[in-house]
Amino acid sequence: MKRPLDTATAPLNEQPAPTRRRLSLRDELMLALLPTLTILVVLALVETWSKQRLLFASLASSAFLIYLDPQHGTNRVRTLVFSQMLAAFIGFAAFSLFGPGYFAAAGAMLLVITLMIVFDVLHPPAVSTSLAFAFRSGAESNLLLFALAVGLIAVLVLLQRFSSWLLARYGAK
């Protein structure tokens, strides 16, 4: 049986992309609950130890992507952790070498995109991470705190896959 196609999300001049399988409203909200709670916990930790809130904004995008399609390759634990940490280190290095500004941000962004392609760890929110670290303000580096936050998001990937499995197994009654 052919999968339905969604022309709203289809790339230009190509076949429409298959739509994701929709769940009941209750199940969709249950799947969205875990990423939302995880991000709120991450934000609470950030507020406790740092004032660099925008450094962690891309993690909210990561959490939403995990909710949207937990089985997609961009949402694998390896891809998420590798690309986000790569972006943080490159953004921090660009800031350290060139100071805050467009040159550091552009260099960090281009290098992160290139390395994500080379290492096959494409996770779009990581591009925002490189920009946030390259543009950062203040003396705080937050690399360790960011690594802990990425770890929490990696746990979210595993929990989301488990939740999807539970819904598939017990929700199809």
Residue 1 has pLDDT above 50, yes or no: no
pLDDT band at residue 87 under the 50/70/90 scheme: very high
pLDDT at 10: 40
More confident residue, 120 or 11: 120
Nearest residue to 136 (alpha-carbon basis) of 100, 88, 102, 108? 100
Residue 162 has pLDDT above 60, yes or no: yes
Residue 103 has pLDDT above 90, yes or no: yes
Q: How many beta carbons lie within 10 A of that of residue 91, not counting itself?
A: 31
pTM over 0.85: no
More confident residue, 158 or 108: 108
Rounded average pLDDT over 126-155: 76
Report which residue type is found at 12.
Answer: L
**CA–CA distance, 63 with 44 (Å, rounded to integer):** 16
**CA–CA distance, 15 with 33 (Å, rounded to integer):** 33
Residues whose CB is less than 8 angstroms from the CB of residue 116 and which lie 6 or more positions away in sequence, other chains included: 83, 86, 122, 123, 126
Residue 93 has pLDDT above 50, yes or no: yes
Rounded average pLDDT over 11-37: 66
Whether the CB-CB separation of 44 and 104 falls below 8 Å is answered with no
Rounded average pLDDT over 145-154: 74
Residue 66 has pLDDT above 90, yes or no: no
Nearest residue to 129 (alpha-carbon basis) of 61, 39, 43? 61
pLDDT at 82: 92
pLDDT at 6: 42
Give residue limits of the domains in the chain.
61-173
pLDDT at 9: 39
**CA–CA distance, 126 with 155 (Å, rounded to integer):** 17
pLDDT band at residue 20 under the 50/70/90 scheme: low
